Amino acid sequence: MKFFNFLVIAFFALASCTLDKTDYEAETGLEIPELSEFKEAVSFTSGNYKVSIEALNGTFYKGYNELRLKVLNAQNNQRVNPSAVTFLPIMTNSDNVPSSCPHQYNLEYDAANNYYSGYSVFTSESDASGNWKLYISFTVDNQKYEINKQVTVEKQSNKNLNMTAFTGKDGEQYCIALIAPQKPKVAENALIAGIYKYNKPTTAAGTFPDPSQFSYSEVMGYTLKLDPRMPEPSMGNHSSPNNRDLTQQNDGFYHGVVNYTMTGNWTLNLILMNQNGLILKGTVVPSDFTPGVEGVKSELYIDTLF
Amino acid sequence: MKYFIIALFCGIALTAQNNHAHHDSIKNLEEVKVQNAAKKKIETEMKMAVSVDEFLSSSDNISFIKRGAYAWEPLLNNMSTERSQVTIDGMHIFGACTDKMDPITSYVESNNLAAIDIKSGQEGSLHGATVAGSIDLKRRSTAFSLEPKWKGTYQTGFEFNNKQFFNLGNVSFSRNKFVAEGSISYRTADNYFDGNNDEVKHSQYNKFNTSLGLAYKTSDLSSVRVDAIFDVAKDVGFPALPMDLWLSRALITSASYKQLFEDGLFRVVDTKIYYNAIEHYMDDTTRPENLVHMDMPGWSTTYGLVSKANLKKNSYSSEISLNAYDNLSIAEMRMYPQDRSNRTMFAFSWPWVTTRFAGLAMNNSWEISEKSQINMGGSLGVNYNYSKYVEFNWIFHPGASQEKTRFLPSLHAGYQLNIEQFNFSVGTGYGHRAPSVSEGYGYYIYNSFDRYDYIGNPDLKNEISYEGNASAGFKNDRFSIQGKVNYFYIQNYIIGRILSMGSPMNYQSVGVKGYTSLDYATLLNLSMNVSYDILEHLHWKGTLTYARGTDDKNGNLPFIRPLSYLTSLHFMHKNFGIQTSVNGDLEQINYSPEYGEDLTPAYTIWNLSADYTFKINKLRSTIQIGAENLLNEYYSTYADWGNIPRMGRNIFTSLKVSF
């Protein structure tokens, strides 16, 4: 009998609740919906033609957006392949002053997939203080079509696709947007960023929208130095080893490596240097371990969270 | 009786075991566990009601790292638990705590053990690949009896220093074909007080343990047996650590089949399958000084098979053992930000690490003559590791292997010679061991001793040990002396070294250390035991041990015991016994600042106890009263984590009743 009592005790003690093991896959996916599907975000109709722009999740987000543009014959829904497809996003603020953001003006035809690809790095969300309009032009049968439409730019809730815009020490306007990883892991993560620069117009403005007034380009041959740290005071300015600064690769993007040692809030402390090693923005952050004190951030940084 | 317990530990020679195995009355299968023929009582010279830790500490070659009053980490030959094999009846069990708060010895209780079998160096390779040796905790196992028989023991006691109150009970029923036995125990203790009468906060503990064993004789020469141990420790303080234990639980189960043979080379084959699951949840909420609240749960699950065969022919006897197990170790850390609305921070400190081991080991002995004997043995093991979330390991070791297979050979040989009252032995050994889960795959495991976060390296080389040992002794009716020495040269000695990269994760930490291999390290252990029967009822015993451990740059290794001594007098007359002992360590001169050690001063402790045995009806009863650290010395030893002071004067009482 006694033994049975032991067994009963043992059984209940075992069955009582304790902490469950963490489902790690769910843990890292908790904050971040990983988007991989391109859906139509906006469509325009001009005469016989319908232009459809696809973006991830069918939404324009603040930050980097890869775009796929398709032109269809509105009557029979057949694809047409126009030439000279251009793309220009313009934001008009409450004072009616237009500005743009880094974007690809001349879209490239992707023959394999039969669409025109480009990107846009929206620098703000659509709200009362400003809204975005896309200006598209293309040529079919030697006829040029120009259309525009207001679009909504949503908040990017995935902080791993954050961006920052600033003026460098050279007086130029820069924009750095994170492109990957969408869904970081506690691991070595290939970090990809786009670095863009506003090309100051050299000529007076022509008819609105004059692309020469709103020209951006990828910066070439710069270096983005990286020092990731956890800003949480209790983490005492914790950092990770084996990170690699971002340098430009053939795809035009800047590639580096960030190691995240645990989930949570991270700050990518950055220093942007031009081809000559001149610092355009950013400061070296202290590397001391300072428990209880929130880590000092570089004057150029992007926060991430996963 | 008590007098010889320590001596039993000294006789780590495997042959004693083997010999006993065959002298059993095989036909009647009286002993289910043939191996247990050598009875050893779980009690020390000073104290009859001891914890497993206290019992182990009475052995010469065991010392302890102590993080509080509970769950001491046993060091065998001055080497930590990674280098030794700690098993329960040959079953492999792995603690679930990254901070070694749960050595295997913490999941058993003295009343479900019959003996502890310690083998030094490669002689212990029968239980798996090892460097330091093996500690096998042998469970109680009642023999079948011709007549139905009930047996039971009840022990209770109170220790005044930490108000420890314990109740241990075990009962067994045996018949000619059936045995059932069980034990139950509960210990509870408050904080203890040091030699300055200051309370050592967070040193309380509560432990519940129960075990059950059922055996059935399937034929004259065979039997089956199932065993289970269930252990719960709750609200256990670890004063030397920045956190305590909220709950740890272990379920240890096994089923075995044993076949004896009346003639032929094979005498006994005993095969066991086992399963054990350990969960361990730390708790830092009782430490307001902690800046960060952190959950640190750990789980360790092991399945295994162990099969042993005893062979004997004329002067040759042999023991063959097949060992296989699969262990999954998981440990997590989740840090809570000060602003709880922020996201918690999560990482694995053991990223789901699987260890699979299969090994075949053999020990042989030949009695060349009446006087001399040769022992030879060897083993070959295959050790496989797999890290499920290897990306954690890649942060510090990019591209490290996710899977790793290692071959772990071992060889040993020894020669024993007895010439009249003298005995001599020499031996040598060679063996590999694989890195432990922490050494291989640990991730930011905070070591509060040197205050570094430790990072494992999956591609560490095998640690390779070359050892030599020798002993010499003399014994006559009244006097005995035995000296022993062993020396280990350990190649690729695994130890933490400061990493220049990375920064601490735990806020108390000062830096990051990575497990790396030193070219080599050496360890020397010396011990000397003397006993003398001054009068018929008055016995004296003395022990002296010394160890020295150095790394490849001639620096000191940490946790090496300085010269220590124990001298005791034991007087026994009729039903009355009194014993006193003085023990201590000399100053720890050869300390290692690199590993957080500082000079530990010498100390001396005086203990005294008296017991009286009597009968109430048919119950054999013993009461004991005694005091440890009678002079209330304030001290801490070289292996007290963070120099926490040891217990001051402790008056203990206990009662043992058995039928």
Distance from C-alpha of B236 to C-alpha of B244, rounded to nearest angstrom: 6
Task: Say whether B373 sits in a helix, a strand or coil.
Answer: strand
Note the pLDDT of residue B13.
32
Class of CATH domain B2-617+628-658:
mainly beta
CB atoms within 10 A of CB B121: 33
The whole-angstrom distance between A3's CA and the closest CA on chain B is: 7
- DSSP result, A106-141: BPEEETTTTEEEEEEEE-S--BTTEEEEEEEEEEET
pLDDT tens-digit series, residues B183-216: 999 999 999 999 999 999 999 999 999 999 999 9
For B:269-298, CB contacts with A below 8 A are 279, 281, 291-292, 295, 297
- DSSP result, B131-172: SSEEEEEEEP-PPP-SS-EEEEEEEEEEETTTTEEEEEEEEE
Round the CA-based radius of gyration of chain A to a whole number and report it.
24
Distance from C-alpha of B588 to C-alpha of B561, rounded to nearest angstrom: 8
Percent of chain B scoring above 90 in pLDDT? 72
Note the pLDDT of residue A31.
63
Distance from C-alpha of B292 to C-alpha of B414, rounded to nearest angstrom: 54
CA A165 to each of CA A89, A126, A200: distance values in angstroms, whole numbers, following the listed order: 16, 17, 15
Q: Please state the separation of Cα B572 from the chain's center in Å.
A: 30
Note the pLDDT of residue B481.
96
pLDDT tens-digit series, residues A129-165: 888 999 999 998 888 889 999 999 999 988 999 999 9
Does A261 contact B297 at a Cβ distance shorter than 8 Å? no
- Chain A residue closest in CA terms to B172: A3
Distance from C-alpha of B112 to C-alpha of B210, rounded to nearest angstrom: 8
Residue at B487: amino acid letter = Y
Residue A116 contacts residue A68 (beta carbons within 8 Å): yes
Classify residue B239 as left (phi > 0), alpha (psi -120 to 50) or beta: alpha
Distance from C-alpha of B147 to C-alpha of A25, rounded to nearest angstrom: 60
Does A262 contact B342 at a Cβ distance shorter than 8 Å? no
Say yes or no: B452 contacts chain A, CB-CB below 8 A.
no
Q: Does domain A38-154 have CATH number 2.60.40?
A: yes
CB atoms within 10 A of CB B189: 21
Distance from C-alpha of B651 to C-alpha of B624, rounded to nearest angstrom: 11
Residue B75 contacts residue B65 (beta carbons within 8 Å): yes
Cβ burial of B513 (10 Å; 0-12, 13-18, 19+) is: buried
Q: How confident is the model at residue B314 (pLDDT cuts 50, 70, 90)?
A: confident
The whole-angstrom distance between B54's CA and the closest CA on chain A is: 26
Does A230 contact B345 at a Cβ distance shorter than 8 Å? yes
Interchain CB contacts (distance < 8 Å): A and B: 135
Closest by Cα among B193, B52, B64 to B585 = B64
Q: Please compute the mean of the pLDDT values over residues B481-508 and round it to a whole number.
A: 90
Most confidently predicted of B16-30, B169-183, B504-518: B169-183
pLDDT tens-digit series, residues B26-73: 333 333 333 333 335 677 777 787 888 888 887 878 888 888 888 889
* Residue A12 CB partners (closer than 8 Å, separation 6+): none
**Count of alpha carbons within 13 Å of B212, Cβ hemisphere only?**
16
Which residue is it, tokens 């309370």? Answer: B199
Cβ burial of A171 (10 Å; 0-12, 13-18, 19+) is: exposed
> What would the two tokens of residue A293 be?
């004190």
Distance from C-alpha of B380 to C-alpha of B317, rounded to nearest angstrom: 20
If you average pLDDT over every residue of chain B, what do you get?
Answer: 89
Beta bridge partners of B518: B493
Note the pLDDT of residue B338.
82
Does B503 contact A21 at a Cβ distance shorter than 8 Å? no
pLDDT truncated to tens, each residue of chain A (306 aa)? 455 555 555 555 554 546 788 888 877 766 677 778 899 999 988 888 899 999 999 999 999 999 999 999 888 888 888 888 999 999 998 888 899 999 999 999 998 988 999 999 999 998 888 889 999 999 988 888 899 999 999 999 889 999 999 999 999 999 999 998 988 989 999 999 999 999 998 888 888 888 889 999 999 999 999 999 999 888 888 999 999 999 999 999 999 999 999 999 999 999 999 999 999 999 999 988 888 888 899 999 999 998
Say whether pLDDT at B385 is over 90.
Answer: yes
Note the pLDDT of residue A11.
52
Beta bridge partners of A68: A54, A117
Distance from C-alpha of A9 to C-alpha of A67, rounded to nearest angstrom: 63
